[in-house]
Amino acid sequence: MLAERYTGTVDDLGAVLGLQEASVSHGRYYFAAKRIFDIAIASVALVALSPVFLIVAMLIRLTSPGNVIFAQQRCGQDGRLFLCYKFRSMVSNANWVLENDDSLKANFTREWKLVNDPRVTPIGKIIRKTSIDELPQLWNVLKGDMSIVGPRPVQPTELRERYGHHAQMVSRAKPGMTGLWQVSGRSSLSYEQRVALDVQYIYRRSMWFDLLIVLRTIPALIIARGAH
């Protein structure tokens, strides 16, 4: 059973699962198998999806001025920072627009997301809804910055301010291209629910659980559940 049936808060999640944060540990065989899995999936996907990369890059370049790839600093395993890659889905001056619109910034700061974000380009709306914008993260996976499955890749300020005392535990894992948040509602979830899902993943992670999440990701992407 995946996490969509859980409706509690992040602070009572440990009690629900009957675990303590300090007891969360995994053997070296799990991490070795997970790395092999990541390299295999990312390598095959990069080759198989190369036509998609080319088409999306051309559409972005032809319809909106600016770089095709957007890179932003995110928190990796054990707090290490890395550049997380995405296809650019917003106008090139998106950060300037956010910083100079008080209402927009207030809404973003509350949930670290915006519904009907005015900065998103027409092509951006399509690739965000289908998660195609995240395909360049396959390169992050190949480099070892990310995993195919893991907690959400969040910004340093986001991790510090919104995860609280759970930040260190969640940082034990590499962030993932997909995870419990992806198959449990994505952007339709509250921030508290997103944190709870990341915590739950750390408690429950295993190769079988990772495989189940990957299999559940495919239909979630097809129906674009919870995507904005």
> Would you kindly state where each structural domain of the chain is located, as residue ranges?
3-222
Number of other CB atoms surrounding residue 171 within 10 Å: 20
Q: What is the pTM of this model?
A: 0.81
Residue 104 binned pLDDT confidence (cut-offs 50, 70, 90): confident
pLDDT in tens, 40-71: 999 999 999 999 999 999 999 999 999 999 99
